Structure 1
Amino acid sequence: VGAAGGEDADGAVVTVAGLLAGGEGPGRDPEGALELDLLVVLDAPQLDVETAAMLAESLPDGARLVLSGDPGVLWSAGPGKVFADLLSSGFCPRVTSRTPDPGPIGELVSAIGVGELPSVEAPGKEVVIVPVRDAGEAVHRTVQLVADSVPRAIGVSPEQTQVITPGHAGAAGTRALNAALKERLNPGPGRFGGFDPGDRVVYTPAPGRALTGTVVSADAEGLRLEGDGGRMTVPRERVAAGA
């Protein structure tokens, strides 16, 4: 999710959500405007129309707004393509950086952005490309990597590993991968809407906002999770919908 480059009194970068809610950042003046002269928003393509409008309306007169981001990445989960529309309109001054991000990951991102998947030199194993023949082998190799290879090679436990796939459906979608990983890492009957205590899940309470947590229990209200943000409850209807 996009992060606001506004800095609080300690110089720490704050989030867009925290800035708008008043929990982070410099606070607001008596007229309700943010007390700042310059706001830099990183990952600006992640801004939807409503959030971008709230940011713009919160700026005091004379303040400057800088939007930074890669126009080739995925857009916001919410409605609108604010960053793309601003770029295409030509209304705002534009500065283009042609310097790729440093390191193997930066090299890979730059190549993927132009439709290539090169062999990246990564002595520290920041990038490892594992070729497979089909979706079934992709699922098998993913489980093998998470449960065995990654912990053994670089000491990262399954609890610290995040698996990402483009979609929910399909032979290598989230449902297939979650089922295979659960069978290996936390087998159980799935008595809580397909989940058991100890299962790691990602909950999206709102578009563009994803929270990770571990299943603790369930009751009439829904699935109880424990995560970095404390205890959360996923409503029963969201559990059934695969939220």
Structure 2
Amino acid sequence: AVPIDAQIILVGDEDQLPSVGPGQVFKDLIDAKVIPRVNLTEVYRQQDGSSIIELAHKMKLGQPIDITERFHDRSFIPCTAEQIPDLVDKVVSSAVKKGYDMSDIQVLAPMYRGSAGIKRLNKVLQDILNPKAEDAREIE
């Protein structure tokens, strides 16, 4: 039970993908316009001058984008799903050899399973950035 004077704060992004299951409670609450809401507009996850911010804004506005155009902070490499783990390995290993810090590297994947999924790519990235130590115990 919740006390009668309790306040509930809901945090979410109305521009995210819709709910996977039935219903869309968060979107319905936003659309109802009967509860106070605050829109956060400042981007903190990307640096100033990031092409990713511009790309996201264009997508949100339904404007055409060219993901193949190269920028200093992102690139597009055409390949099959099966080639992605090896390409991620090559690109990230190269970045590490050039002196990039782990916090400078970001890999995005649209799914959990499969050869290009998060689970597979996390294993590839762990082997590069945080390899198993023979003398250390590890939680799996």
Q: TM-score range by the shorter chain?
A: 0.5 to 0.7
Structure 1 residue corresponding to 2:6, chosen from 57, 62, 69 = 57
Q: Match for residue 32 of structure 1? A: none
Identity across aligned pairs (percent)? 27
Does 1 or 2 have the higher relative contact order (CA < 8 Å, sep 6+)? Answer: 2
Structure 1 residue corresponding to 2:117, chosen from 148, 162, 173 = 173
Q: State the alpha-carbon separation in 1 of the partners of residues 38 and 123 from structure 2.
A: 46
Q: State the alpha-carbon separation in 2 of the partners of residues 95 and 183 from structure 1.
A: 41
Flag the structure with larger Rg.
1
2:76 is aligned with 1:156: no
For residue 133 of structure 2, what is the amino acid of its counterpart?
P
Deviation sequence 1:39-95 (CA, Å, 0-9, x none):
xxxxxxxxxxxxxx89x8248xxxxx8x7864112579xxx8554222222313668
Higher strand share: 1
Q: 1:159 to 1:90 in 2, by over 3 A?
A: closer
RMSD: 4.3
Q: Match for residue 87 of structure 1? A: 30
Tell me the CA shift for residue 178 of structure 1. Answer: 3.5
Deviation sequence 1:7-32 (CA, Å, 0-9, x none):
xxxxxxxxxxxxxxxxxxxxxxxxxx
Q: Match for residue 88 of structure 2? A: 142
- TM-score for both structures, normalised by structure 1: 0.38
Match runs of 1:64-213 below 5 Å: 70-74=13-17, 83-92=26-35, 103=49, 104-113=51-60, 114=62, 116-119=64-67, 122=71, 125=72, 127-149=73-95, 151-152=97-98, 155-158=99-102, 161-182=105-126, 196-197=132-133
- TM-score for both structures, normalised by structure 2: 0.58
Equivalent pairs, count: 127
Q: State the alpha-carbon separation in 1 of the partners of residues 36 and 129 from structure 2.
A: 51
Unaligned runs of 5+ in 2: none
